[in-house]
Amino acid sequence: MTIENYMIPCLNKTLFGFECMGCGLQRSLIALFQGNFTNALLLYPAIYPLILLFMLISLSLIYKFKFYQKVINLFSVISIVIIISNYLIKNLLL
């Protein structure tokens, strides 16, 4: 038994037959935990900006640094743009 046996299936892909914007996130996290950093990026390109975003949010709860809200907003926008463009590339071009 491996951790892949316990992954949550994508309801969108199961019902409608195409991937949602979050498809690949679980596989990417597993690849990241296994040390496959390139594979994690290929499976879900927004993995690294999302990790940085959650680290910044956690850090800002403990320590309010100058311009923390602007930095969080910037990483939020970067993550959203990467997620949407990856979704469009996967569904329109492939």
pTM as predicted: 0.83
Tell me the residue range of the domain where 8 lies. Answer: 3-93
Domain count, the chain: 1
| Tens digit of each residue's pLDDT (9 = 90 or more) over 32-77 | 999 999 999 999 999 999 999 999 999 999 988 888 899 999 999 9
Measured over the CA atoms of residue 8, residue 13, residue 16 and residue 21, the dihedral's sign is positive
pLDDT, position 63: 87
Return d(Cα 93, Cα 1) in angstroms, integer. 35
Average pLDDT over the chain, rounded to whole? 88
Query: Which of 66, 69, 37 shows the shortest CA–CA distance to 53?
Result: 69
Residue with tokens 């299936």: 9
Q: CB of 29 within 8 A of CB of 16?
A: no
